């Protein structure tokens, strides 16, 4: 009977630990969600989607405040959108916005996610939502005086307009004087 109790306890422990969310401690000063998100965005923008996903996943695994991981979920939203998984893309983008709705990066990524998901489809349904996300990101970034975030939001808003064949909108976004501010802050 005692062996059975030990076996049941061991199995319960294994099931509990294997089903729990995998987290880890930060290993250095640079091993933090912000750094992994930044590297992941760099990879994503270069088209190295698998490497970007690894960085976003790693940012989520670090034992840190959840709201600091919003950018990682936003990045995963874009990753899944590019890979054609609409449900996971939307879930991650929405989770990112729920975690930190005041982060311009989250809103810009949400707009990009909507663009990637809907590229080549009827524009009236999704384009308004994407533009709303970009405009909100621009407003928040302006309030924070984050010129890099402003430029990114205008740039990706322009790309969204281009992909939706709304060339006047794209031209206005690309031509905005705010979009030409230096990217180095």
Pick the range with the lowest mean pLDDT from 102-106, 112-116, 180-184: 180-184
| pLDDT at residue 177, rounded to an integer | 64
- Helices 123-144 and 104-118: crossing angle, nearest 10°? 160
Structure tokens at 19: 């089903």
Residue pLDDT, tens place only, 19-61: 445 777 767 667 888 999 999 999 999 999 999 999 999 999 9
CA dihedral 69, 75, 80, 84 (to 10 degrees): 160
Under 8 Å CB-to-CB from 89, ≥6 apart: which residues?
77, 78, 79, 80, 81, 113, 116, 117
CB-based burial label for 119 (10 Å; 0-12, 13-18, 19+): middle
- pLDDT band with cut points at 50, 70 and 90 for residue 69: very high
Quote the pTM value. 0.82
Using only C-alpha atoms, the chain has a radius of gyration, in whole angstroms, of 20
- pLDDT band with cut points at 50, 70 and 90 for residue 185: very low
The answer, yes or no, to whether residue 92 has pLDDT greater than 80, is yes
**Which runs of consecutive H residues, i.e. helices, occur in 22-146?**
33-46, 49-61, 70-82, 86-99, 104-118, 123-144
């Amino acid at each position: 009977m005692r062996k059975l109790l030990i076996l049941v306890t061991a199995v319960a422990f294994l099931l509990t630990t294997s089903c729990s969310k995998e987290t880890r401690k930060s290993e250095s000063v640079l091993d933090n969600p912000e750094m992994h998100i930044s590297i992941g965005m760099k990879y994503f923008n270069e088209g190295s989607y698998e490497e970007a996903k690894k960085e976003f996943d790693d940012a989520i695994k670090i034992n840190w405040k959840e709201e600091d991981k919003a950018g990682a979920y936003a990045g995963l939203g874009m990753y899944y959108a590019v890979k054609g998984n609409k449900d996971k893309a939307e879930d991650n983008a929405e989770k990112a916005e729920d975690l930190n709705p005041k982060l311009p990066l989250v809103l810009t990524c949400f707009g990009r996610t909507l663009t990637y998901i809907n590229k080549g489809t009827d524009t009236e349904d999704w384009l308004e939502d994407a533009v709303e996300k970009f405009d909100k990101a621009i407003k928040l970034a302006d309030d924070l005086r984050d010129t890099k975030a402003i430029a990114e939001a205008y740039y990706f808003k322009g790309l969204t307009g281009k992909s939706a064949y709304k060339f006047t909108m794209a031209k206005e976004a690309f031509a905005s004087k705010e979009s030409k501010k230096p990217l180095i802050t």
